[in-house]
Amino acid sequence: MRPRRLAAALGTLAAVLALTACTGMPAPAPSPTGLNSGADCGLPDGVRQTRFGSDIGADLGGIILGDGRTGVVLAHQNQSDLCQWLDYGVVLVQRGYRVLLFDFGGFGVSSGGSSTNAQQVAAAAMVLRADGATSIVLMGASMGGTAVLIAAPTVTPPPTAVVALSAPTVFSGNALDAAPKLTMPVFYGAGDGEGSFTRMAKELYDLTPATAKKLVYGPGTFHGVSLLDSGTSPLTLALTDFLTANAPALPPATPTS
């Protein structure tokens, strides 16, 4: 490097270091493996970053918590990101589940390309299974609820159970076409005062042939994830019973010597 260019580079570096010292701000650090998903959530210890979706033309960021053999994919609502599900995800981990929370393309840190929401959910299920989950639950709220319903018939092996809270019948795909194909246990939830969402939950429930299906209404206009805000609400307790009966938490596999 020529003397003048070297001097200029050293001057720039000195200026950066001086600014860092004056402001007390740390120098930029590399992001963790993945896309640094959930950076604004206040993530708990033990979070593992994951990045996936290249096979469907997407670049999706997510986090994995827990090590149980029953995995739960948590799909968020419109105009939100994975942080929305974090509190309930931690509850599931405490019960022995492994969970994957991710940002849909166009939200949080993710870009979806031409992939559909349902394709992104299916890709998340594959990641969770590759991480060690031997059975998968697909759980989504509002937009995410529609996505898990549409994704469920396309996932191989099929999900053990599906949970859709306040799911519209149509959002980035048509859940009315998917519901008749759902043969696994399905839990539908909505607020009893949610208007069209209350009606659509019943419509999807009626179209679902699964014998172990359940429809539970929460109070008032609570929507999606907020239906679970109270850990002792009838809907939250009903969901816990549903998971225990149809997709119980299985402990981590015992290492073989």
pLDDT of the chain along its 257 residues, tens only?
Answer: 433 333 333 333 333 333 333 334 333 333 446 789 999 899 999 999 999 999 999 999 999 999 999 999 999 999 999 999 999 999 999 999 999 999 999 999 999 999 999 999 999 999 999 999 999 999 999 999 999 999 999 999 999 999 999 999 999 999 999 999 999 999 999 999 999 999 999 999 999 998 899 999 998 999 999 999 877 889 999 999 999 999 999 999 877 65
Bond into 157 cis (ω within 30): yes
In this prediction the pTM is 0.86
DSSP-derived 3-state class of residue 202: helix
Which residues, including other chains, have CB under 8 Å from residue 257's CB and lie 6 or more apart?
A: none
Cα 64 off chain centre by: 9
User: Could you say which DSSP state residue 256 is in?
Assistant: P
Which residues, including other chains, have CB under 8 Å from residue 4's CB and lie 6 or more apart?
A: none
Antiparallel, parallel or unpaired: β 161-165 and 186-191: parallel
Antiparallel, parallel or unpaired: β 70-75 and 98-102: parallel
Which residues, including other chains, have CB under 8 Å from residue 14's CB and lie 6 or more apart?
A: none
Residue 200 near residue 216, CB atoms below 8 Å: no
